[in-house]
């Protein structure tokens, strides 16, 4: 279904995100017939380009970073014709009058701040000073949204000086992933799971986001962040919220976000003994974290594993184990819900050791499987085995239906539609920092040194021990 005609200004329009994700994504929406051809995309950045130069740059970017749509050469010119460019001085007056002439008042307006957060205030102020933005304009901001509670509050306050909360779209691209949304469909669209979704039936939950990439090339940013700020405070926290929240009364922005916020606020402080920080070592032909970050004395973590608790009736006593890291064995994001053992086995003594395990694979190979216990086929008597009820989405639904829409393109279309459900509200972001701040401050106060782990592994040994101590084990990363 096409969205309304829009004008989208991308500040930072020549940057990495714009070239890798935003513009190739918009081109795909264009090809899908969702982006009206009279829409305008205005790149704005410092570089002294004109529209023709910008179109050339984006054509190259789509050729380099686009997917299958690269072949659609016939349509690329029509798409590029929607692009404009304005050289802009974020802190001065240059370019703003030109911008005012280009951005129409009678269509949906969105301003994407794909720039350093220190510029948010300058941009917001000028959008008003030059009468470009109005009461209906939407603005889109990216992570990192602050690096602690104080800076996040300051950013929220800066934005609130110029825009209402219902105009602000804070992106966490994990919320745009197909399977992440499917999590909600699975939980709230089936009668099967919700009655069991609590501490009476669930033993524990694991959330793993393992990556094979290193931090090379972005060491300067990463070394000041680490896995906690870069991944846990946002992406893993959002996954945790969707798994743990109460059913919202409807699938609408505030209902969903209210419930997520309650989860974050109910998270208990984490015992330092329940956290393992790691840093990848050099491997055969690969450099170490410290080399990649160009900081020989860095104590920043590229891996983290932790055990958390949510203090409410539903989850009291159920550990949530979170784990994420770079340079790991495989790229694999998975949520695993491990149900309790049955109370009494009618078969044989050992047969109560079987469990139902629901695993939700976010990427790659999106899908779910539910481990169920059945009789081993054959005449060998009543012997039980665990088998997966597999639902790989691509197989179940047919490839064409699940051609995975990139998170960014879906989220940008939601901005144009005015749907904030998959965006973070200001209070959520602040609550998430309020939970992570004391943990990070604890490390800093203790000069905590991360444990080294081998590239291509599952992280430091201690991370395995975190579960072993509780008589549990991590799902294998594969």
Q: What are the DSSP calls for 34-71, one per residue? A: -S-TT-EEEEEESS---HHHHHHHHHHHHHHH--GGGG
Tell whether residue 285 is among the known ligand binding residues: no
Q: What is the largest CA-CA distance in the chain?
A: 83
Q: How far apart are CA 97 and CA 174, in angstroms?
A: 36
Tell whether residue 260 is among the known ligand binding residues: no
CB 37 within 8 A of CB 82: yes
Q: Which residue is catalytic, options 204, 235, 309, 354? A: 235
Tell whether residue 267 is among the known ligand binding residues: no
Residue whose CB is less far from ligand BG6, 69 or 230? 230
Residue the block writes with tokens 């094979």: 212
Q: Fill in the DSSP letter of residue 353.
A: G
Q: How many residues bind ligand BG6 (CB under 6 A)?
A: 5
Segment 162-191, which members bind ligand BG6 (CB under 6 A)? Answer: 173
* Shortest Å, Cβ 255 to ligand BG6: 26
Q: How far apart are CA 451 and CA 469, in angstroms?
A: 18
* Shortest Å, Cβ 345 to ligand BG6: 40
* Shortest Å, Cβ 211 to ligand BG6: 5
Q: How far apart are CA 253 and CA 421, in angstroms?
A: 4
* Shortest Å, Cβ 173 to ligand BG6: 6
Kindly state whether residue 211 participates in binding ligand BG6, applying the rule CB under 6 A: yes
Segment 104-143, which members bind ligand BG6 (CB under 6 A)? Answer: 143
Binder to ligand BG6 among 7, 203, 223, 230 (CB under 6 A)?
Answer: 230
Tell whether residue 294 is among the known ligand binding residues: no
Q: What are the DSSP calls for 117-163, one per residue? A: GGGHHHHHHHHHHTT---TT-EEEE-S---SSHHHHHHHHHHHHHHS
Residue whose CB is less far from ligand BG6, 162 or 326? 326
CB 440 within 8 A of CB 50: no
Neighbours of 102 (CB within 10 A): 17
Residue whose CB is less far from ligand BG6, 86 or 209? 209
Q: Catalytic: 235?
A: yes
Residue whose CB is less far from ligand BG6, 188 or 221? 221
**Chain center to CA of 148:** 18
* Shortest Å, Cβ 17 to ligand BG6: 10
Tell whether residue 230 is among the known ligand binding residues: yes
| Terminal alpha carbon distance of the chain | 37
Tell whether residue 147 is among the known ligand binding residues: no
Closest residue to ligand BG6 using C-beta atoms: 230
* Shortest Å, Cβ 433 to ligand BG6: 16
Residue whose CB is less far from ligand BG6, 173 or 277? 173
Tell whether residue 292 is among the known ligand binding residues: no
Strands 367-375 and 357-363: antiparallel
Residue whose CB is less far from ligand BG6, 128 or 218? 218
Give the H/E segment covering residue 368: strand 367-375
Catalytic residues: 235
Q: Which residues bind ligand BG6 (CB under 6 A)?
A: 143, 173, 211, 213, 230
């Amino acid at each position: 279904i096409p969205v309304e005609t829009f004008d989208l200004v991308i500040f930072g329009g020549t940057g990495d995100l714009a070239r890798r994700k935003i513009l190739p994504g918009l081109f795909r929406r264009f090809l899908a017939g969702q982006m009206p051809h009279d829409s305008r995309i205005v790149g704005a950045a410092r570089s002294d380009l004109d529209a023709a130069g910008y179109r050339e740059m984006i054509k190259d970017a789509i050729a380099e970073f686009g997917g299958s749509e690269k072949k659609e050469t016939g349509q690329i010119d029509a798409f590029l014709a929607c692009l404009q460019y304005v050289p802009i001085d974020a802190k001065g007056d240059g370019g703003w009058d030109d911008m005012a002439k280009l951005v129409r008042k009678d269509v949906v307006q969105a301003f994407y701040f794909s720039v350093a957060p220190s510029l948010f205030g300058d941009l917001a102020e000028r959008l008003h000073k030059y009468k470009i933005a109005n009461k209906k304009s939407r603005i889109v901001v990216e992570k990192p949204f602050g690096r602690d509670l104080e800076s996040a509050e300051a950013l929220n306050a800066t934005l609130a000086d110029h825009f209402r909360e219902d105009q602000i779209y804070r992106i966490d691209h994990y919320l745009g992933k197909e399977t992440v949304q499917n999590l909600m469909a699975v939980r709230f669209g089936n009668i099967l799971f919700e009655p069991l979704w609590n501490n009476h039936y669930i033993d524990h939950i694991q959330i793993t986001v393992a990556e094979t990439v290193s931090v090379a090339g972005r060491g300067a940013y990463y070394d000041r962040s680490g896995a906690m700020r870069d991944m846990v405070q946002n992406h893993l926290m959002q996954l945790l919220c969707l798994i743990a929240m109460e059913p919202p009364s409807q699938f609408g922005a505030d209902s969903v976000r209210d419930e997520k916020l309650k989860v974050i606020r109910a998270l208990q402080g984490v015992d330092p003994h329940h956290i393992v920080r790691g840093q990848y070592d050099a491997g055969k032909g690969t450099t170490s974290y410290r080399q990649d970050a160009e900081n020989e004395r860095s104590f920043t973590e590229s891996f983290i594993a932790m055990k958390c608790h949510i203090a409410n009736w539903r989850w009291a006593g159920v550990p949530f184990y979170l784990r994420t890291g770079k340079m790991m064995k495989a790229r694999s994001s998975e949520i695993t819900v491990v149900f309790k053992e049955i109370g009494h086995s009618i078969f044989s003594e050992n047969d109560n050791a079987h469990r139902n395990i629901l695993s939700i694979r976010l990427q790659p190979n999106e899908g779910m499987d539910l481990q169920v216990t059945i009789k081993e086929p054959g005449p060998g008597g009543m012997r039980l085995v665990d088998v997966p009820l597999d639902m790989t989405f691509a197989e179940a639904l047919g490839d064409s239906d699940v051609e995975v829409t990139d998170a960014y393109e879906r989220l940008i279309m939601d901005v144009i539609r005015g749907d904030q459900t998959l965006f973070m509200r200001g209070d959520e972001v602040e609550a998430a920092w309020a939970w992570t701040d004391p943990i990070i401050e604890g490390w800093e106060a203790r000069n905590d040194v991360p444990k080294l782990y081998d590239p291509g592994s599952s992280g430091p040994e201690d991370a395995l021990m975190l579960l072993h101590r509780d008589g549990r084990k991590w799902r294998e990363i594969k």
